[in-house]
Amino acid sequence: MTVKMIAVDMDGTFLNSQQEYDREKFSSLYQQMKQQNVRFVVASGNQYYQLKSFFPEIETELSFVAENGAYVVSEGQEVFTGEIDPEVVQEVLTILANFEQGHIILCGKNSAYVAEDEPTSFIEHVSKYYHRLKKVPSLFEVKEDTLFKFALSFPVEQVAEVLEQLNDALGDKVIPVSSGHGDVDLIIPGVHKAHGLMKLQELWGIQNHEIAAFGDSGNDLEMLKHAGFSYVMSNGQPNVKVAAKEIILSNDENGVLVKIEELLGQ
């Protein structure tokens, strides 16, 4: 058994439908991971400040590949920060103005930003995922931050079509990936979850075949292909199931923790 790093996506994977996890079971498994020198990495499209709130007792011991790899923090120390060229940010915002059904969050190192004319219901919903969220008169005016991701929200039934249109419209300026539930992230080319894991591997001297990765959505694909042991949840997207080596129990059946227990016991 050669797993030295366990990397988990959060929404739809590690977290159940109530945005929770079995804290007691995880705590016991985490102690085993520490004893076996296995690194536990949270790899999510979500904001670092939100992700660490799930692990209040151990956040300074963990590593986070946040914002789909654009912001990597290990044991409280910044390891990597991506940046979208400010001119590209302006170009992308101009293109997005044509997508009337969509809502936009502009994600930066210090905060995420949302236009103040967005519906209150949307702002309340996304504040669960962005613990640092600022309302601004216009996203075009956000200049004082390192910006590394756009998070878009569309009606679920439009996502496939929107992804296609965005791919055509954006070229290779930013890459659209689906992150589940009608959400689409625009990420820096080449900066994805697998890239974030590589940054941590360099720190720790861990090989690809020593990684176990868990995911459910399009933004997990690179990470699942990168890892020697790759697991997709039974509730995962069909195209993601094809990419993983094994389909496991759903996020509402403790799928990740059941598999981690098995991996640690081998």
The band of 1, judged by pLDDT with boundaries at 50, 70 and 90, is low
Q: Is 183 a catalytic residue?
A: no
CA distance 132 to 164: 30
> Do the Cβ atoms of 137 and 106 come closer than 8 Å?
no
Where exactly are the structural domains of the chain? 5-81+191-265, 86-187
Q: Does domain 5-81+191-265 have CATH number 3.40.190.10?
A: no
Model confidence pLDDT, tens digit, residues 187-218 = 999 999 999 999 999 999 999 999 999 999 99
For 86-187, CATH number out of 2.120.10.60, 3.90.25.10, 3.30.1240.10, 3.90.550.10 equals: 3.30.1240.10
C-alpha separations of 203 from 35, 79, 80, 191, 199 in Å: 19, 9, 12, 17, 7
Over 80: is that where the pLDDT of 266 sits? no
The band of 2, judged by pLDDT with boundaries at 50, 70 and 90, is confident
Farthest-apart Cα atoms in the chain, separation: 55
Residue 160: in which H helix or E strand, if any?
helix 159-170
Model confidence pLDDT, tens digit, residues 114-169 = 999 999 999 999 999 999 999 999 999 999 999 999 999 988 888 888 888 888 98
Model confidence pLDDT, tens digit, residues 8-65 = 999 999 999 999 999 999 999 999 999 999 999 999 999 999 999 999 999 999 999 9
Catalytic residue among 9, 11, 183, 220: 9
- What's the confidence (pLDDT) of residue 179? 77
DSSP state of 145: S
87: its two tokens: 């001119």
Closest CA to 51 of 106, 3, 107, 93: 107
Do domains 5-81+191-265 and 86-187 share one topology? The answer is no
